[in-house]
Amino acid sequence: MTIIRRLDHVALVVSDTREALEYFSGNLGLRVAHEEELQSPRVRLTYLDVGNAFIQLVEPLDADSDIAQTLRTGGEGVHHLCFGVRSVSDAIKALSDPMSTPPPLGQGRGRVSGFVADGAPYGIRVECTEFSFAKDVQQLAGWLPDSGPSQQGDPE
């Protein structure tokens, strides 16, 4: 059975969301799909629509948090990959190192999510979030509309 249903988002840790949006929305033209602040961990999450997945900007709001430490030591950049799965708890159990204890489940965009406890193989953390066929497939266009002249094969 396939555990992963789709790529949900690529998370980037940033020091200032508003400044990052100048590039991602201003230069790249990506639309903000959702914004929220979490209390635990204390972060600002901003989801940018890239057609068939999201870029998630993660700004730490607590200078003592693990994410703030990651930002201080590694700078801005990729923090984790998040995959949509049928069952977050089952996926985390299947994907985690059996000798490790996964961190508690959290949320983002109103969905249960959690990180795989595996030591970040290949230098990347992996998160799993709830997959919804209706929201993740049927309600997403799967591409971004072109603001210029129509390309051959693109919907008008």
Pick the range with the lowest mean pLDDT from 7-21, 84-98, 115-129, 134-148. 134-148
pLDDT at site 155? 57
Percentage above 70 pLDDT, the chain: 93
Average predicted confidence (pLDDT) for the chain:
90
Q: How far apart are CA 49 and CA 53, in angstroms?
A: 7
- As a whole number, mean pLDDT of residues 40-67 equals 95
Q: Check residue 154 and give its pLDDT.
A: 58
The burial of 88, by beta-carbon neighbours within 10 Å (0-12 exposed, 13-18 middle, 19 or more buried), is given as: buried
Predicted confidence at residue 11, as pLDDT, reads: 98
pLDDT at residue number 149: 59
Taking only the tens place, the pLDDT of each residue in 93-112 is 999 988 888 888 998 898 99
CATH level 3 topology of 4-138: 2,3-Dihydroxybiphenyl 1,2-Dioxygenase; domain 1 (3.10.180)
- Tokens 């948090």 sit on residue: 65
